[in-house]
Structure 1
């Protein structure tokens, strides 16, 4: 398993549109992916579960990847969040 801490830069956090973008990206990854915010651990492959975490601008989250392509998947998810998910 690999992980990395990252700060969310989207002004409105991971609301529906950026959460949907992240879900599409995560869905293409072969690894199990978990986003950790405080005590909450969510699977970003489900937009409803992802939104339930209430991730806001400035929140620090941990991206965890575990699976056959974990290194590549971690880079992909972190790059997507750092890019602002199209916003």
Structure 2
């Protein structure tokens, strides 16, 4: 059996879309039930790594989003980080 960590080294360089596409393929193959147990475990572990990578990329994107601040009259008064109160 191969080392799952070595098989996942490429994930860090993937875009969100690439990782999500691979994750969708993994889910589809696991849902068919036609994959041998050992291979199912390996691709499940890869799916977990892809999921974590997608979550990390989404969090980074959320951190970059700004929300518009409005003044008392409702006019735009600038921007601030999305989660400024945290």
TM-score by length of 2: 0.32
Higher helix share: 2
Determine which structure has greater relative contact order: mean sequence separation of CA pairs < 8 Å that are 6+ residues apart, divided by chain length: 1
TM-score by length of 1: 0.32
Higher strand share: 1
